[in-house]
Amino acid sequence: MSKRTAYERSELGHPSTKRAKEVDAETPYQTLLSALESQNSKDVVKKVVHWFRPKDQRIYDNTALHHASTVAQESNTPLICIYQYCPAEESWHGTSPARTDFMLESAKLMRDELKELDIPLVFLHAEERDEIVPGVLEFLQKEGVSHVFANFEYEVDELRRDQRFVEESGDDILISLHHDQTVVEPGTMLTGNGKPMKVFTPYHKAWTQLVKENPHLLDTSPPPAKNRPQAKKEVDHLFDSEVPNPAKDKLFPSEEARNRIRALWPPGHAAAVKRLNSFVTQIETYAATRSNPAKNSTSRLSAYFSSGQLSVREALSALRAHQNSADFSERGASTGVHGWVREIVFRELYRQTTVAVPHIAMNLPNNLKFDFVKWEDDDEEGWEKWVSGTTGEPFVDAGMRQLGAEAYMHNRLRMNVSSYLYCNLLLDYRRGERYFAETLVDWDFSNNHMGWEPGYTVFNPVSQAERNDPEGEYIRKCEFALCLFPSF
Q: What is the pLDDT of residues 61-115, one digit of tens each?
A: 999 999 999 999 999 999 999 999 999 999 999 999 999 999 999 999 999 999 9
- pLDDT surpassing 60 at residue 31: yes
Please give the mean pLDDT across all residues of the chain: 94
Q: Which residues, listed in sequence order, are joined to residue 177 by a DSSP beta bridge?
A: 150
Q: What is the pLDDT of residues 220-237, one digit of tens each?
A: 999 999 999 999 999 999
Please, what are the domains in the chain?
18-180 (3.40.50.620), 251-362 (1.25.40.80), 369-484 (1.10.579.10)
- pLDDT surpassing 50 at residue 168: yes
- pLDDT surpassing 50 at residue 354: yes
Cβ pair 141, 131 in contact under 8 A: no
- pLDDT surpassing 90 at residue 482: no
pLDDT at 8: 65
Q: Cβ of 251: how many Cβ atoms within 10 Å? A: 15
Q: What is the pLDDT of residues 441-479, one digit of tens each?
A: 999 999 999 999 887 679 999 999 999 999 999 999 998
**Cα 131 from chain centre:** 23
Q: How confident is the model at residue 6 (pLDDT cuts 50, 70, 90)?
A: low
Measure the CA–CA gap between 229 and 231, rounded to whole angstroms: 5
Cβ pair 96, 443 in contact under 8 A: yes
Cβ pair 43, 147 in contact under 8 A: no
Is the pTM higher than 0.85?
yes
Cβ pair 310, 269 in contact under 8 A: yes
Total residues belonging to the chain: 488
pLDDT at 1: 42
**Phi, psi (rounded to 5 degrees) for 108:** -65, -45
Q: What is the 3-state secondary structure (H, E, C) of 115-178?
A: HHCCCCEEEEECCCHHHHHHHHHHHHHHHCCCEEEEECCCCHHHHHHHHHHHHHCCCCCEEEEE
Residues 6+ apart with CB under 8 A from 197: 189, 190, 191, 203, 206, 349, 352
Q: What is the pLDDT of residues 36-68, one digit of tens each?
A: 999 998 889 999 999 999 999 999 999 999 999
